[in-house]
Amino acid sequence: MDNKLTYIACIQELLVVEKQNIIFLLLPAREPTKVTMNDLKGDFKKADIEIDFYPEPGSGHYLKMVHNGIEYGMMQAIAEGLELLNTQKQFDFDLSQVTHNWSYGSIIESALMDNIHEELAKDTQLTQFNQKVHASGEAKWMVGEALQEEVPTPVISLSLMKRNASLTELPFSNQVLSAMRYNFGGHKEY
C-alpha cells in the first residue's frame, strides 16, 4: 500500500482517503489538475489497480459519502447479531471463532467482519473499548440527503441514532418512558 500512497501524494492538490483496499481520490472540483484521469487510469492499470472515474464535479465525493453511510448500517447489523450471540443463555459461542468462520465463504463475509474478528481474537469481551460510539458525520449527511430526496433509509438512520444514544450515560428519555408506564399502568422497572 505504501507505493500507492507515495504515488498518489505526488499528484498536486488531491485528497486521498484510504479504506481497506479502496482508495478514494477526490479531485478539486473547481481547479484543473496537471494530471488527467486518463494518465491516472493508465498508471494504475500498469500497477494492476482498478479505478473508476465519476466526472461530474462532486459526484465522487457524493458516492464516497453514501458508501460510508452504508458502512454505518452494516456495522450496526454486525454489532446487533454479535450482541444477541453474546447475551443469550442457551448456547456458548466463541465469538472470535464465529466471526472467523463468517469471514470465509459466508454471505456476510466482509472487511468489517475481518476487523471485528481481529479485535475479538485479542479480547473476546472487547474490554479496551467503552460503550460510547461517536459518529463522524457521514451517516448524518446521508440521512439528511435522503430526507431531502425523500428516499427512505431506515437502517442507516437507526444506526446513526443508536450511536447518538450511546453517548448518553442515562438518557432522560428512558426515565420519561418509565415514569409514563408507571403513571398509567403501575409498571415498575427493575
The span from the CA of 81 to the CA of 97, in Å, is 14
Q: Give me the catalytic one of 4, 13, 45, 64.
A: 64
Q: Are 120 and 133 in contact (CB under 8 A)?
A: no
Active site residue 64: yes
Active site (annotated) includes residue 50:
no
Which cell goes with 171?
A: 438518557
Catalytic residue among 18, 46, 50, 71: 71
Closest alpha carbon to 11 in 36, 31, 29: 36
- Give the dihedral sign, CA 42/43/48/51: negative
Q: Which residues are catalytic?
A: 64, 71
